[in-house]
Chains A and B, each alone.
Chain A
């Protein structure tokens, strides 16, 4: 029987588990709007996690990072995608190639792979417990599922953004003292992705009148 981790490690693990759970909730959210809200919530937890690490481990740069990720991922990106959605006048996400229960079972399997493969690496970090790394790997792997199985641009974009959340938790674990410039470059990547996905959404909607990628085969010559 494993002994309990310290309170700090416990809180950090619970936060990462919350991130994973919101990823799972995105899998079953039928409304595009609720997916975006879940993404905003997930980013909020990432921000809170960064603040917790910054205050307990005395890494001042993380405060700046937390501020940036709050502004970008909790406020800016969700509101931008919401605006696009309002213009497109669509509520429901595209059909999914798998039903929700089987997708959740698949996600459990995928996250188990993430847990055990990363957990066995025994990466030790000053900032966060190893479990957080294992969970963030699971977040990244589960984020692939909506990208693969859901047939609309918004779900795929949100899947990609939340994948970035998983990666940023992993970077908090492995390299909490990463220079700020590198972290900001990560965020800049995200911004770029938002622009690209926004462009795809508008273009796709302009051409087919929907956000569903199922329409894409109509473009064949």
Chain B
């Protein structure tokens, strides 16, 4: 007996729920792998869930003199991270009803709005370290922006559009699309961007407590209780969203559901989480191999990513892309 196909709207809701529910799991597995690589036992895989539920039960403390922005911004950013999974191929190869609402740039804008509101709430707290984090994250975010633009240009040259679904379909179509230099370079550039945006090691130690090297982490130092839970959950979701774009759009868009059948969609969920965990362990290995760059050397790292993205566009123009 065949089971009825899921409605496209239902699949789309599942995309959001997968990111929402899977993000802490992926973070937990990555920190477990990281701990094992360093010879520690590490926290439980489900620890991020326990952390979140604990934080939701704690009281919220608001610094003196901060306005409504301090408490609104975490909600805004969380909302943004819930919208982006609607736009990208999380579970399906085909576009879902709201999937064409925005292209890669549209998704980028929403992610930028989320980053901006978190930085704003950090600044609003009035605490020096949170403000430092906010200003740093905006500075480096602005430097990463040109790289993302050039990656989008490369995608546009590759597919004639800048829809994530179109690129994923192009990559799936043949091996020669996989190895074409323009695509390889764009994927490498986006990999480096993900490294910067998720605050991994050459740029930032994501688990440290030393304020001087903090960028993203510092923004949330003054938050507590439910807003902090939303921020932590949001940053885990941002990480999984970026992984999803890298995996399902650039590198390995396989295992996605081609129809709405529950089996295919369930397989899509499992394969996405498995691929995200594999990618996450690559990031964990990078974490252990390299040391953190000094703050003023981060521009060099970003310049390298920019270079790769520019080369991606250049090889298209010489006809070899």
Whether B267 sits at the interface, judged by CB under 8 Å, is no
Are B320 and A5 touching (Cβ within 8 A)? Answer: yes
Are A116 and B304 touching (Cβ within 8 A)? Answer: no
Task: Choose among A9, A17, A28, A130 the residue with the greatest number of B CB atoms under 10 Å from its CB.
Answer: A17
Are A5 and B176 touching (Cβ within 8 A)? Answer: yes
Query: For the complex, what is the distance from the CA of A131 to the CA of B185, rounded to whole Å?
Result: 14
0/1 interface trace, chain A 103-118, chain B, CB 8 Å (1 if under): 0110110011001101
Contacts of B159 in A (CB 8 A): 1
Give the 10 A-B residue pairs with the shortest CB-CB distance, closest first: A131-B320, A119-B318, A10-B179, A1-B160, A13-B181, A7-B176, A134-B318, A10-B180, A101-B303, A4-B176
User: In the complex, how many residues of chain A place their beta carbon closer than 8 angstroms to a beta carbon of chain B?
Assistant: 34
Contacts of A64 in B (CB 8 A): none
For this complex, into which size category does the number of interface residues on chain B fall?
A: 20 to 34
Contacts of A115 in B (CB 8 A): 314-315, 317-318
Contacts A28-B304, A100-B303, A104-B304; is A130 near B319 (CB within 8 Å)?
Answer: yes
Contacts of B310 in A (CB 8 A): 108
The residue in chain A whose Cβ has the minimal distance to the Cβ of B173 is: A4
Per DSSP, are chain B's interface residues mostly helix, strand or loop, or mixed?
A: helix
Contacts of A11 in B (CB 8 A): 179
Whether B316 sits at the interface, judged by CB under 8 Å, is yes
0/1 interface trace, chain A 1-45, chain B, CB 8 Å (1 if under): 110111101110110010011001000100000000000000000
Task: Choose among B157, B174, B314, B318 the residue with the greatest number of A CB atoms under 10 Å from its CB.
Answer: B318
Are A4 and B177 touching (Cβ within 8 A)? Answer: yes
Residues of A within 8 A of B (CB): 1-2, 4-7, 9-11, 13-14, 17, 20-21, 24, 28, 100-101, 104-105, 107-108, 111-112, 115-116, 118-119, 129-132, 134-135
Our count of residue pairs bridging A and B at CB distance below 8 angstroms stands at 89
Contacts A7-B175, A11-B179, A17-B185; is A2 near B321 (CB within 8 Å)?
Answer: yes
Whether B184 sits at the interface, judged by CB under 8 Å, is yes
Contacts of A130 in B (CB 8 A): 318-320
0/1 interface trace, chain B 50-80, chain A, CB 8 Å (1 if under): 0000000000000000000000000000000
Query: For the complex, what is the distance from the CA of A117 to the CA of B311, rounded to whole Å?
Result: 15
Per DSSP, are chain A's interface residues mostly helix, strand or loop, or mixed?
A: helix
Residues of B within 8 A of A (CB): 157-160, 174-177, 179-181, 184-185, 299-300, 303-304, 307-308, 310-311, 314-321
Contacts A1-B157, A2-B316, A5-B320; is A131 near B300 (CB within 8 Å)?
Answer: no
Smallest Cβ distance from B20 to chain A, in angstroms?
A: 35
Smallest Cβ distance from A38 to chain B, in angstroms?
A: 13
Contacts of A101 in B (CB 8 A): 299-300, 303
Query: For the complex, what is the distance from the CA of A92 to the CA of B188, rounded to whole Å?
Result: 29
Smallest Cβ distance from B141 to chain A, in angstroms?
A: 17
Query: For the complex, what is the distance from the CA of A5 to the CA of B318, rounded to whole Å?
Result: 12
Selected contact of A28 from candidates B180, B184, B300, CB within 8 Å: B300
Query: For the complex, what is the distance from the CA of A135 to the CA of B181, rounded to whole Å?
Result: 11
Are A116 and B318 touching (Cβ within 8 A)? Answer: yes
The residue in chain A whose Cβ has the minimal distance to the Cβ of B175 is: A7
The residue in chain A whose Cβ has the minimal distance to the Cβ of B318 is: A119
A–B Cβ pairs within 8 angstroms, 29 of them: A1-B157, A1-B160, A2-B319, A4-B174, A4-B177, A7-B175, A7-B176, A9-B320, A10-B176, A10-B181, A13-B181, A14-B184, A17-B181, A17-B185, A17-B311, A21-B308, A28-B300, A100-B303, A104-B303, A108-B310, A111-B311, A115-B315, A115-B318, A118-B318, A130-B319, A131-B181, A131-B321, A134-B318, A135-B318
The residue in chain A whose Cβ has the minimal distance to the Cβ of B160 is: A1
Are B315 and A13 touching (Cβ within 8 A)? Answer: yes
Contacts of B320 in A (CB 8 A): 5, 9, 13, 129-132, 134-135
Smallest Cβ distance from A8 to chain B, in angstroms?
A: 9
Query: For the complex, what is the distance from the CA of A208 to the CA of B158, rounded to whole Å?
Result: 54
Smallest Cβ distance from B29 to chain A, in angstroms?
A: 31
The residue in chain A whose Cβ has the minimal distance to the Cβ of B156 is: A1
The residue in chain A whose Cβ has the minimal distance to the Cβ of B308 is: A21
